Amino acid sequence: AQTVTQSQPEMSVQEAETVTLSCTYDTSESDYYLFWYKQPPSRQMILVIRQEAYKQQNATENRFSVNFQKAAKSFSLKISDSQLGDAAMYFCACHNNAGNMLTFGGGTRLMVKP
Amino acid sequence: ETGVTQSPTHLIKTRGQQVTLRCSSQSGHNTVSWYQQALGQGPQFIFQYYREEENGRGNFPPRFSGLQFPNYSSELNVNALELDDSALYLCASSLEGAFNSPLHFGNGTRLTVT
């Protein structure tokens, strides 16, 4: 069974500053993907960034980047130059082909202060 | 490109009743997954449908059932509703066989059971 843990229920960041959201996971699979999803009040889950476990290089998408530490089973999300529109719930998730499913963490609510 | 659409947006049912939620997958996607998101929690995998058959199931009782149609749209049926079934139900589509195909989510259906 997979588990995903997000230890920060809430985080706050000043506009234009940088914030890091934490995530740890556990899986017995050797082949898996990790994701960060954003869920604004509109409720739609929006893919922010993904990381393939066999790739050592950390994924980057514009202002969003990850710190993937495979041995420690850690997958943190860094948001640079935070914007008001970044305010949302952020979910870390793990997917493996065997299970055909995403396992989500409990989420972190990010607040951005103007 | 048409995104994932879900109907209805909101629904109120009484304990013991039955409910059907509907989902149209994103164009080009042949796999549909359903997730239950209780208030303040991360989504939990219910099941996935591919080629009109169930292709993986989470820890949900048999009163949660589904269908997938030839056009890849899907229904989630819940019988004998319980108060704990109150949640946001998310549908997501993807391309089966493409392990790296991320899920695309709809805006969800908010179900309230009274």
The verdict on a CB contact (< 8 Å) between B43 and A101 is: no
What is the arithmetic mean of pLDDT over A44-49?
93
* β-strand partners of B21: B76
Burial class (CB in 10 A: 0-12, 13-18, 19+), B73: middle
Q: 10 Å Cβ neighbour count for B24?
A: 21
B21-44: per-residue pLDDT in tens? 999 998 888 899 999 999 999 999
- Contacts of residue A97 in chain B, CB cutoff 8 Å? 99
**Res B73: pLDDT:** 93
A93-108: per-residue pLDDT in tens? 998 766 578 999 999 9
Q: What's the gap in Å between the CA of A80 and the closest CA on chain B?
A: 24
**Res A30: pLDDT:** 82
* Average predicted confidence (pLDDT) for chain A: 93
- Contacts of residue B88 in chain A, CB cutoff 8 Å? 43
Low-confidence ranges of chain B (pLDDT < 70): 1, 97-100
**Res B28: pLDDT:** 83
Task: Please state, for a pLDDT cut of 90, what percent of chain B lies above it.
Answer: 77
**Res A99: pLDDT:** 59
DSSP string across B82-109? -GGG-EEEEEEEE-TT-TT---EE---E
- pLDDT greater than 80 at residue A68: yes
**Res A28: pLDDT:** 86
The verdict on a CB contact (< 8 Å) between B56 and A4 is: no
The verdict on a CB contact (< 8 Å) between B41 and A43 is: no
Beta carbons of A2 and A90 less than 8 angstroms apart:
no
